[in-house]
Structure 1
Amino acid sequence: MPPVDFGLHAFLLLLGLWLCTKLFSYVSRAGSLTTKLNGPPSQSRIFGLLRYRLDAPDISTDYEEWAARYGPVFEIPVMFGAKQIMLTDPKALTHCYNSERAVYVKTNIQRLFIDEIFGRGVLSAEGENHKRQRKALTPAFSNAAIRRLTAVFYDSAYKLKSIWDERLESTSDGAIIEVQEWMNRIALDSIGIAGFSHDFRYIEGQQSAVTTAFEAISVFPVLLRLPTQRMRLFWDLRSSLNVIAQRLLVRMRSEKEAGVTEELADKSIIGLLMKAELADAELHMSQEEVVAQVECPAVGWIRDNIRYVILISRFNHNLIFFFSVSLTWALIELAKCPEAQDKLRDDLARFNGADPTWDQLVSELPYLDATVLEILRLHPPVSETLREAIYDDIIPLGTPIVTRSGETVSSDELALITVAKGSIISEPIRCINRSESFWGPDAKEFKPERWIGDITVPAKEFLGHRHLLTFHDGPRICLGKSFALAEFKAVLSVLVRNFVFEFPDGPTTKIEHHDAIVPRPKVAGQNGAKVPMKVRRVE
């Protein structure tokens, strides 16, 4: 039996006691300075409501119920006696969104995960560092840039159409196709080319470290530095994409040295990043920052840029394709509502088989626009975001609330609450997007018609894109939202113009959430996140 290292044990014990003391002090201070809010009771002194929230089929419905019971700002017990402040009040949310960078930032555990896995890019940056990087990236997402990239989205869609046409060639009654896998492929290929001039050829079935990682990633922060199988996937992914980044850097430098004109230079989004890296760029980005943007096409560009999303909610950290999941949901809702699918096809028929331009996608297809917005409302890829207050703050409210002591928080002119430094606030996007109090009694239904004409429901108080919080808001609003919408509309327009989507068992087919990396849709009874559909050509 090896000798016991009493010195080490004593050190670990003292360290544990110190951490507990710091945690108690931290929780006590936040609790003493923050307005005592109402909220659901704790189920455990240690875990709070953690287990309940993890086990809930759809915690957003519980949030909606608690907001109705306790008020639009309430608190939830979390671990070790701490509280998490839930905001569903429009004025409170607007204040917190606008205070990001200055007051409300990502938590340490969020930044640890993002930095360790994906590098120190714009996603994890805060304050002036985030402002500088975002400003350097902004030209890549201008209307002119997206207009130029729309052809890439169509090209990927037609590659998929060609493969499906071959499969349908031998049948007159359609074929069963697992659509979610194909949406994953078209998402990655489109972003690879439009984002940084690299074709993964995933639609054609080619595998790489990138595609393998996207198919299998799921990790907790405590394991970030351990050589687990999933972490090796991340490391292989970063290594592979680092090579791509370095090649692009070399090419851009060579073009500059050779005097290549702006018109001949790389026009992809990553091309502008490379120019920002050059020493004489107006807004210099270090090579580490540039590589962090490129190292993962589904992450370095994430929320503030292109299409994938880091979802940090329900107490784990998930990586998901924004585009593939949203497009899969679109096909699901259209298959469950054939009338809406027919209306969308009629909306697209005015172009007589031609592809709408970017400008037409934006302004001349009202039902396509309504369909896309309704999918983003019902099925936001990010269901909840967390932020930590780095300073004490006062949050204004649009509606007075009653505190835990029974006091009504209001004044003659303004209702407000105090929030202490270190407090965690939650912005429950899915709850708000689907709330009956904001969207009416049909809020849980797929109804594109609600977007035709002016929005008159209370949700109009939210200042996010088209009154949705799906793209966030404030200084960290999704920089790539126009890119996202253009790709979504372009690909969906090609698929709906050429194919009819149905469920083999009819429109009442039950859809569940598959909890792997992030909740994905799945047909009930399928083994994994699979959505088999009957696909046939439009006659």
Structure 2
Amino acid sequence: MIENAALLTAFIKIACLIASFLVLNGTWTLYRNYTSPLWRLKGPARGNFFWGNQKEKTIPEWLNEYGRVLTHASFLRRPRLLLSDTKAVSHIVSHATVYPKDENLRYILGQLVGNGMIVAEGDEHKRQRRVMNPAFGNAHIKELIPIFFEKALQLRDTLNVQCANSDVGYRTNAIDWMTKTTLDIIGIAGFGYDFHALDTAQAGKSDLQLAFDAVGSAAAGRFRMVQAMIPIFRLIPTQNAAALRSAQKNMDSIGSSLLSEAKQMVALGEKVTNAGKDLFSLLVRANTATDLPAHQKLSDKDVVTQVPTFFVAGHETTASSLVWMMYALTRAPHVQEKLRQELLSVPTDTLSFDDLSALPYLDAVMREALRLHAPVIFTERVATKDDILPLSEPIEDRYGNILDSIRVQPGDLILVSNLGINTDPAIWGPDAHEFKPERWMVPRAGVTVSIPGVWSNIMSFWGGARGCIGFRFSILEAKAIAFTLYRSFKFELAVKHEELTSHHFVVQRPYLEKDIAAGPQLPIIVKPIV
């Protein structure tokens, strides 16, 4: 009895210490949130105590009302600096180690894609990227173009069959077809692994697709956001957490099998599928190169972790880009027709890299669609030391003071609005929010502002050392699919555009306002060109 009483007393003391720590830590967090110097900047009211301004989703309106620099409330009213000032953003992009992803965001992304290159920071990110760079170089991406066209033509033939069954056009959800096509492409081009997503005779989904779908479903949810923001809640066992661990285990198992196969083929000096040109095989080959120092090589675990990274980067983002391009072209039928005429002037169904790059209006449409509808519309970073963010022009704070820079402290959250920069009227002109591919045909004085993006003077693929490594893959893939579709079909919206809205989880997708629960949708009508 005495021993039990002693144990109980010790347990109570430990529990009290933990509770005291949590109370003190919570009190300090709230105090810091409420007294942050960032609140001197203009911005919206702080919103809900728990969610802050998170549910308001009015970033474009905030930028329009308060300017390119403002403060709003995130979770537990933690102040977050919102930026679309190009000079400040250039500073952040060029100091990637000072402004990494916040731990909370890394937790959420890590649940979805593991600790691969998307999540890694600092020297670990540099090490992973150094090994992966050869797979995403121009020379190798060019060799994947036949795969892009093979699947684009399969999509065309499938849609032709569907259209033959209707006299008024084939009504469908564009997201389904774009997702299937890019999934097949990343399967073959990324892993030498055929998903058969476009094969209507193929029943069900592949093991890798099922595993990734399961990870995505289990990693989503509001409580998962709470766990990200309040780490102690991660200790709470939930059914969702158990499902996530099981899905991640399946993903790791499949990744290990892919790695084993790639190693065997690399050891033989060739790869059965696509002559060893899939991205994963090239990664394994680069990682086993004899001239790569041992300390720079990735462990097998690190290599396997890149499987979901490839999956997201090469599948979700391109599908989103194609869907939003289709949305823009259905709202601008004259642009769609002009594009079609350029594509029909080409006598062949497949093109080389040089020929695909020699279609100026297709290139302009692609750039304009990605400018207006970036798959990733904002990027969050956190300051890790005291620093000063320079501004391209002075601003006025809440108290009438004029500032030409912003002081940040360790732990300050920063949200960069990629879309805000891409649609800033001061940069792009009064028609900044309009879909006008012609703006890319003739350089204009208003588009010469230096934007730190890795591609096309826009922020859709971020920039600097953390710029999207797969942007060349994504652009060429999207161009090949667009070339095939818009010379073969006319696309119309099947609903009024006012009925559509958008939501962002990993990438931005359209939804029907009245049927959000049904998932992402872009209802279209497909009509063959005769």
Into which bin does the TM-score normalised by the smaller protein fall? 0.7 to 0.9
What is the Cα deviation at residue 144 of structure 1? 1.1
Could you say which residue in structure 1 is the equivalent of 2:464? Answer: 474
Q: Which residue is equivalent to 2:43?
A: 39
How far apart, CA to CA, are the structure 2 residues paired with 1:165 and 1:400? 56
Q: Which amino acid aligns with 2:363?
A: D
Matched ranges for 1:316-395 at <5 A: 321-362=316-357, 364-395=358-389
Which secondary structure state, in structure 2, belongs to the residue aligned with residue 242 of structure 1? helix
Alpha carbons of structure 1 residues 229 and 145: separation in structure 2 relative to 1, 3 Å: farther
Cα distance in structure 1, aligned partners of 2:23 and 2:318:
46
- 2:22 corresponding residue in structure 1: 16
Amino acid in structure 2 at the alignment position of 1:59 = I
Query: Tell me, which stretches of 5 or more residues in structure 2 are unaligned?
Result: 1-7, 228-232
The DSSP-based 3-state class of the residue aligned with 2:115 is coil
Q: Is the 8 A contact 2:187 2:194 kept in 1?
A: yes
**CA separation in 2, counterparts of 1:369 and 1:259?**
37
Aligned to 1:55: 56
Give the Cα separation in 2 of the matches to 1:152 and 1:170.
28
Asked whether the equivalents of residues 52 and 78 of structure 2 are also in contact (C-alpha less than 8 Å), the reply is: no
Alignment equivalent of 1:397, drawn from 385, 391, 399: 391
Inter-partner Cα distance in structure 1 for 2:243 and 2:374: 27
1:112-191 matches, within 5 Å, as 112-191=107-186
Deviations 1:402-458 (A, max 9, x none): 23443323xxxxx33321121111101122222333322222222211211114225
Q: Deviations over 1:24-78 (max 9, x none)?
A: 57558x835x69433333245x34xx4544134x4323233221xxxx3222234
Distance change in 2, residues 1:74/1:260 (3 Å): closer
Verify: 1:273 aligned to 2:263, yes or no.
no
With normalisation by structure 2, the TM-score equals: 0.85
How far apart, CA to CA, are the structure 1 residues paired with 2:424 and 2:360?
Answer: 24
Structure 2 residue identity aligned to 1:61: E
1:373-522 to structure 2, matched below 5 A, reads: 373-409=367-403, 415-457=404-446, 460-464=449-453, 465-504=455-494, 510-513=499-502, 519-522=508-511
Does the CA contact (< 8 Å) of 1:392 and 1:419 recur in 2?
yes
Q: Which runs of 5+ in 1 are unaligned?
A: 308-320, 410-414
Q: Give distance in 2, aligned partners of 1:19 and 1:207.
A: 46
1:105, distance to aligned residue in structure 2 (A): 0.5
Secondary structure class of the residue paired with 2:55? helix
| CA distance 1:280–1:235, change in 2 (3 Å) | farther
Q: CA deviation at 1:368?
A: 0.7
TM-fit CA distance, 1:345: 0.6
Q: State which of 76, 87, 90 in structure 2 corresponds to 1:91.
A: 87
Write out per-residue CA displacement over residues 360-389 of structure 1, whole angstroms, 9 at most, x where no aligned residue.
222x11111111111111111112111111
Which structure has more helix as a fraction of its residues?
A: 2
CA contact (8 A) 1:64 1:435 kept: no
- Distance verdict in 2 for CA 1:256–1:376, change over 3 Å: closer
Q: In the aligned structure 2, how far is the partner of 1:537 from the partner of 1:360?
A: 24
Matched residues in 2 for 1:262 and 1:179: separation? Answer: 33
Residue 289 of structure 1 aligns to a residue in which SS? helix
Report % sequence identity: 29
Equivalent position of 1:317 in the other structure: none
The aligned residue for residue 4 of structure 2 is none
From the superposition, tell whether residues 173 and 391 of structure 1 become closer, same or farther in structure 2 (CA, over 3 Å). Answer: same
Q: Is the 8 A contact 1:513 1:519 kept in 2?
A: yes
Sort the Cα spacing of 1:112 and 1:178 in 2 relative to 1 into closer, same or farther, 3 A.
closer
The count of residues paired between Structure 1 and Structure 2 equals 501
Structure 1 residue 242: Cα displacement = 2.7
Matched to 1:389, the amino acid is A
Q: Distance in 2 between matches of 1:353 and 1:261?
A: 29
Aligned partners of 2:240 and 2:514: how far apart in 1?
A: 27
1:209 is displaced (CA, Å) by: 4.8
Query: AA paired with 2:426?
Result: S
